[in-house]
Structure 1
Amino acid sequence: MDNSVLITVIVAFFIASMAGYLIYLQRRLVIYEKQQNKATSPLPLQAYERLLLLTDRIALPNLINRNTATAISSTELQLMYNKIIREEFDFNVTQQMYISPASWKAVKNLKEKNLQIINQIGQQLPAEATGLDLQKAIMQYLMANPTAAFHELVSEALSYEAKQLL
């Protein structure tokens, strides 16, 4: 075999070996990046999960169904609803760091709108109104104004963003 052919074969072998090694390194890098993404992605997903639960828990129809109004006044129930919504929200406030600003704003707006509805309806009731009267008035308001209960819209937005992470 001629020296020039031998050198060509050695150079070709060297180039092929280096190309194979570079492909190997690239694949290892892709695997490493996937592992890093898996290591960090549960936190945002958990945040969306918690905020979906928050949205469900402070939805006015669900709030009414979970908290019966027997033997309390409208004012007491109004204060109880305000406290529940604020505590639920405050418990989940740190989740904002894992979601988009628009989604966090939607969650905040849901909280504020629900508090506004409860307080406005509560103020319109007579002083002797019962908690049951407040519940009925809120449900009547929601039935007459379907856009007022926009917890489903907020839930859909959160779900959509969470699915983008998968």
Structure 2
Amino acid sequence: MEEQLLNLLMYTVPSIITGAIAYLFFREHMQNEEERRKFDIVKTLNKESLPVRLQAYERITLFLERISPNKLLLRVAPLSSDKQAYEDLLIKNIEQEFEHNLSQQIYLSNDCWTIVNASKSATIQLIRKAGMSEKIDSANKLRETILSEMIDKPAPSNAGLHYIKKEVGEMW
């Protein structure tokens, strides 16, 4: 009886060890295949989504360039000499540009979108601050004041442009 049990163990133990090793190798192979499939899917998605993301960055860059006070004031001329009307026109123009590009946020990182929002708000704040001055009594004076203020410091949109360039550079 002991001899039969010993024979049984001599055949069973190697079979169990071989089966366990085969199971481990098979499981490892299946995990590698799953990771390869995921990598292929991500690679394909990146290949298809990269042009769309780059286009979103381009549109936001154009937005930031267009709301830069120097370019905005040259593009949007006052309709009258009323400074409040001109201030409202400039802010309305910025808001329209922003709303036109609102959907691009889904392609940008949260940090980038936050900086774009901050750039827009800072530009509007700059216009409002200049418009609050008692010394300014016409649209042309408002224009001159904003332009002269931009000589001393960079436009608020420059921070957003810098961040976009950094983020796009990290995509490569």
Same fold (TM over 0.5): yes
Any residues of structure 2 matched to 1:1-166 within 5 Å, and which? 34-69=43-78, 71-125=80-134, 129-144=137-152, 146-147=153-154, 149-166=155-172
CA pair 98-64 structure 1, distance change in 2 beyond 3 A:
same
What stretches of structure 2 of length at least 5 have no aligned partner?
A: 1-32
Task: State how many pairs are aligned.
Answer: 138
Q: Secondary structure at the match of 2:132?
A: helix
Q: Distance in 2 between matches of 1:99 and 1:36?
A: 16
Which piece of structure 1 moves more, 154-163 or 29-38?
29-38
CA pair 103-33 structure 1, distance change in 2 beyond 3 A:
closer
Identity of counterpart residues, as a percentage? 26
Q: Deviation per CA, 1:27-55, whole angstroms, max 9, x where unpaired?
A: x9677654432112122111111100110
Counterpart contact for 2:65–2:71, Cα < 8 Å: yes
Q: CA deviation at 1:105?
A: 0.8
Structure 1 residue identity aligned to 2:84: T
Q: CA deviation at 1:95?
A: 1.1
Question: Quick check: which has more Rg, 1 or 2?
Answer: 2
Counterpart contact for 1:78–1:122, Cα < 8 Å: yes
Question: Which structure exhibits the higher relative contact order, with contacts defined as CA atoms closer than 8 Å and separated by 6 or more residues?
Answer: 1
